[in-house]
């Protein structure tokens, strides 16, 4: 059974979780309950938690998340539901993620951080490839997987093309189940750059993308999509050169979308 910490100052959420019975059936032990950021910090210093359910005022939530990014960057954070149906659904999402993170991948020498990165990349592949995710699903998914990108800030989505003489070889590269191309692209130009996170993605349909957005807590007040583009264009250009020189990959930028936020990739974005 997974151990859970509920942190909430909202009576509606607290009452909802009080109504949940048979916690073992949901895959969790009955949660420890705290009512503010200070209580959460104290609880985590004394008790192990596999996941944290959070429903606080925006100011208190921000305070706790800043601390969690520093002290517990791998701890999944789950949104608190306002009804038992919502709460059970959100806890189901948390349990599914924890099952992936705690699975026995010892033969692959993957630790929990590696598995969280894999789950995060799989999540964003689905987002950019299918564009069927709702804004609520995006918010909860990024929170659960502890993505450091700010979904509310401007972002850029680039579509890349592989230039190759052998179409069969290109198809083999794109359909690689181990995502070797994606890993190679990340080595060439993925990661953090000047307050942004650059994430190469290779989807199951054969699309090659670069999603770039502001890092949480590092966004300047005047940060704009134009600023992101100026940083990203130079970074990707140099990365493409690196990919060709050291990995033999010939790439070009086919399309660039400048979006007001990552939510703009969602099906119900307005």
Backbone angles phi, psi at 29, to 5 degrees: -80, 160
The per-residue pLDDT for range 38-69, each reduced to its tens digit, is 999 999 999 999 999 999 999 999 999 999 99
Binned at pLDDT 50, 70 and 90, residue 21 comes out as confident
pLDDT of residue 221: 46
Instruction: Give the residues across from 53 on adjacent strands.
Output: 6, 78
Q: What percentage of the chain reaches a pLDDT higher than 70? A: 90
C-alpha to C-alpha distance for 22 and 28, rounded to whole angstroms: 9
C-alpha to C-alpha distance for 156 and 198, rounded to whole angstroms: 9
Domains of the chain in start order, with CATH, are: 4-102 (3.40.50.2300), 148-265 (3.30.70)
User: 3-class DSSP state for residue 197?
Assistant: strand
Q: Convert 156-183 to b/e letters by CB count within 10 Å (16 or more is b).
A: bbbebebeeeeeeebeebbeeeebebbe
Q: Would strands 208-214 and 155-162 be described as parallel, antiparallel, or unpaired?
A: antiparallel
C-alpha to C-alpha distance for 192 and 82, rounded to whole angstroms: 36
Please tell me the total number of residues recorded for the chain in this structure. 270
The per-residue pLDDT for range 79-115, each reduced to its tens digit, is 998 899 999 999 999 999 999 888 765 555 668 888 9
What is the average per-residue pLDDT within 139-163? 93
């Amino acid at each position: 059974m997974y151990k859970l910490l509920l942190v909430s100052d909202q009576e509606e959420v607290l009452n909802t979780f009080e109504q949940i019975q048979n916690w073992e059936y949901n895959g969790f032990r009955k949660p420890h309950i705290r009512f503010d950021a200070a209580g959460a910090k104290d609880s985590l210093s004394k008790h192990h938690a596999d996941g944290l359910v959070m429903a606080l005022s925006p100011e208190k939530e921000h305070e706790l998340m800043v601390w969690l990014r520093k002290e517990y960057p791998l701890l999944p954070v789950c949104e608190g539901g306002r009804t038992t149906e919502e709460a059970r659904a959100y806890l189901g999402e948390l349990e599914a993620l924890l099952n992936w993170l705690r699975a026995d991948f010892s033969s692959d020498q993957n630790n929990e951080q590696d598995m969280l990165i894999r789950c995060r990349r799989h999540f964003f592949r689905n987002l950019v490839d299918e564009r069927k995710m709702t804004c609520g699903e995006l918010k909860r998914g990024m929170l659960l997987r502890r993505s450091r990108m700010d979904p509310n800030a401007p972002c850029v989505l680039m579509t890349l093309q592989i230039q190759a003489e052998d179409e069969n070889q290109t198809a083999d590269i794109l359909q690689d189940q181990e995502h070797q191309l994606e890993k190679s692209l990340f080595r060439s130009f993925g990661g953090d750059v000047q307050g942004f996170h650059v994430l190469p993605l290779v989807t199951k349909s054969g699309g090659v993308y670069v999603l770039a957005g502001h890092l949480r807590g590092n966004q300047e007040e005047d940060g704009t999509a134009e600023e992101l583009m100026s940083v990203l264009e130079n970074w990707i250009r140099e990365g493409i050169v690196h990919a060709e020189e050291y990995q033999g990959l010939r790439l070009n930028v086919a399309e660039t979308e400048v979006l007001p936020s990552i939510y703009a990739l969602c099906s119900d974005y307005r």
